[in-house]
Each structure stands twice: as structure tokens, then as C-alpha cells.
């Protein structure tokens, strides 16, 4: 008996407070019965929600009828109908109503296969929904990275006073040409970034502080870019009163996992005269997601 080919995509939507919009997005996903949402992570301070959508892939099927792509496209289209980027605000950076989608191979599936799904979705988002779309990772011909796109589009700089991102993009004109869709952005929708990579864990460590500059120093020293832990990306984000999080992408969890990041943030926090508390993952592990999907399907 052939083992099932499984893949997932993580869909990050710039909204967590509009419950009616989220319910509509979730209903749209359910219209494709072969794909299932196995995790939903909401953060009201960040005003952001992350969905983990999983489906089997068909080895010889056309991408025109791929359940994972179809469900993702339905969720994206519904998000654009129900959320106005111009009225959005939160303490997490974002580039659009649907900020980011990343495909990951899970079981018996290759990176190339998930890249093909990502590229097909990006084409539909660009042509059908008419939203500027950027590709990264294995979905991009040169393997462009997610953070490089974000830096060129100003993702990491709060766009109003303080540490808050609010409203749509400052200009319809984009400093980086999209891979799909129009060359200008509708401020009510923004842009979307779609890619595919090996599995990534997201791990956030709260630090008791109001000194964003100091916690940014910690985040930089934790990240590979700042000479810290390999395969770790990190940024400092105001989360709640008196708490700033070091939000980390663990690009190779087998090499550097949450425990190593936790230890390093705690050590650096002490050097800054601060206290870091136990962090948390925003999703289940890859193995847990596979198990949950297969068990729920029985």
C-alpha cells in the first residue's frame, strides 16, 4: 500500500479581532473536504492569526485540482473580501491582509512538489485576485529568502509613531517588482509573500522590559545574522504592557531547537539586566501535525 503524500501550508492573516471574518475564512477552507486546518494560533496584541492547513497530495494529479492549493486560495480570497488592510493595526509587522504563506513537505513529499503548489497558488493570487505576489525559497528560481523580500519592502520598520504597524502600504508603487500580479498594490489589500521551505518552527520568548532597543540587541545577538545561533532569525516585538518578545524562526529545528534559543535569550537578558521567561511555540511540531492529520482522517 502506498504511503500518503502529505504537505501543509501555514497561512498568516493580519487579523485576529474580527471574529466574523475569521469564521468566514475557516468556512471557506471547509469547502475543500480533503484539506483540513489542524492548528489556529491567534494573538490579539499582534492582531494576527496563523492557520496550519494540511492535505494529501496526489502524485499524478494536475495542480488545477490540488486540494491544498484550492483550500488555501479559498481562504485567501475570503480574507480579502472580509478584511480591510487600511484599518488594520497591531504590534506585529505585516505587508498585506494575507501577509505570508509558506508550504512545507510533511511526509513522502519533496520540496520540489510543494514548490510547484506554491507557484501555482501565487499565479492564481496574482491573476485571479489581482494582488502583487512575491515568491521565495524553493518556489523562487534563485532561492530568494523571505527576509530579503521583507527588508526591501520595509517590513521591519514600524510605520507610525511607537512600535505599531497601522494602515495599508505607504505607496501603491512597490520598490520590488512582484513575481505575479499587478505592479501596484491596492492599499486595502497590500501584497502577499508565498514560498516553500523545509520545516520551520516558530518560538517566542517573552522578556520583562519596556526597553525595545535593549531587546532588539538581544534579538540581533541571538540570530545568525547577528553572529548568534545558526539557522535562527529573530526580532523584538512589543507584546503587552511591560513585555517584549524575542520572536524567532528556527530554520533548522534539528540543529537549533527551542531549548537552545531559550537558554541564549535568558543569558543575554541577564546581561541587559532583564528577565526572560519560558517561551512558547506557535504551532505543533511537524511529527505531531502528521499524526493529528492521519488520526483525524480515520
d(CA 193, CA 23): 23
The active-site residue, picked from 92, 100, 104, 239, is 92
The rounded distance, in Å, linking the Cα atoms of 258 and 253 is: 8
What backbone torsions phi and psi does residue 268 show, to the nearest 5 degrees?
Answer: -70, -35
Torsional class of 108: left (φ above 0), alpha (ψ -120 to 50), beta (otherwise): left
Alpha-helix residue ranges (DSSP H) falling in 62-110? 67-82
Return left, alpha or beta for 167; rule: phi > 0 is left, psi -120 to 50 is alpha, else beta.
left
Q: What residues contact residue 150 under an 8 Å CB cut-off, 6+ apart?
A: 93, 95, 156, 193
Q: What is the CA radius of gyration of the chain?
A: 19
Can you tell me the distance from the alpha carbon of 228 to that of 230, in angstroms, rounded to the nearest whole number?
6
> What is the dihedral angle through the alpha carbons of 15, 20, 25, 28, rounded to the nearest 10 degrees?
-170
Measured CA distances, 59 to 2, 5, 51, 65, 131 (Å): 11, 8, 25, 12, 29
**92 catalytically annotated:** yes
The C-alpha atoms of residue 257 and residue 260 are separated, in whole angstroms, by 6
Q: Residue 15 in contact with residue 49, Cβ under 8 Å?
A: yes
Q: Are strands 192-196 and 133-137 parallel, antiparallel or unpaired?
A: parallel
Q: Which residues are catalytic?
A: 92
Amino acid at each position: 500500500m502506498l504511503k500518503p503524500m502529505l504537505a501543509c501550508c501555514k497561512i498568516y492573516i493580519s487579523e485576529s479581532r474580527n471574529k466574523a471574518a475569521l469564521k468566514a475564512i475557516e468556512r471557506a477552507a471547509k469547502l475543500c473536504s480533503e484539506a483540513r486546518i489542524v492548528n489556529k494560533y491567534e494573538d490579539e496584541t499582534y492582531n494576527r492569526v496563523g492557520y496550519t492547513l494540511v492535505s494529501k497530495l496526489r502524485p499524478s494529479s494536475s495542480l488545477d485540482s490540488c486540494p491544498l492549493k484550492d483550500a488555501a486560495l479559498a481562504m485567501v480570497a475570503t480574507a480579502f473580501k472580509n478584511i480591510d488592510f487600511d484599518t488594520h493595526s497591531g504590534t506585529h509587522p505585516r505587508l498585506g491582509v494575507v501577509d505570508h504563506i509558506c508550504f512545507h513537505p510533511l511526509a513522502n513529499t519533496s520540496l520540489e512538489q510543494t514548490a510547484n503548489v506554491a507557484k501555482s497558488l501565487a499565479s492564481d493570487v496574482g491573476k485571479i485576485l489581482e494582488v502583487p505576489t512575491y515568491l521565495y525559497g524553493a518556489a523562487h528560481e534563485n532561492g530568494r529568502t523571505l527576509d530579503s523580500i521583507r527588508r526591501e519592502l520595509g517590513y521591519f520598520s514600524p510605520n507610525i509613531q511607537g512600535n505599531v504597524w497601522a494602515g495599508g502600504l505607504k505607496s501603491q508603487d512597490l520598490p520590488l517588482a512582484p513575481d505575479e500580479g499587478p505592479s501596484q498594490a491596492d492599499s486595502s489589500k497590500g501584497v502577499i509573500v508565498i514560498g516553500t521551505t523545509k520545516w520551520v518552527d516558530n518560538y517566542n520568548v517573552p522578556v520583562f522590559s519596556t526597553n525595545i532597543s535593549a531587546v532588539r540587541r538581544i534579538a540581533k545577538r541571538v540570530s545568525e545574522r547577528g553572529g548568534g545561533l545558526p539557522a535562527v532569525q529573530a526580532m523584538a516585538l512589543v507584546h503587552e504592557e511591560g513585555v517584549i518578545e524575542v520572536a524567532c524562526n528556527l530554520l533548522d529545528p534539528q540543529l537549533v531547537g527551542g531549548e537552545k534559543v531559550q537558554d541564549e535569550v535568558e543569558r543575554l537578558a541577564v546581561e541587559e539586566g532583564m528577565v526572560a521567561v519560558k517561551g512558547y511555540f506557535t504551532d505543533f511540531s511537524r511529527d505531531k501535525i502528521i499524526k493529528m492529520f492521519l488520526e483525524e482522517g480515520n
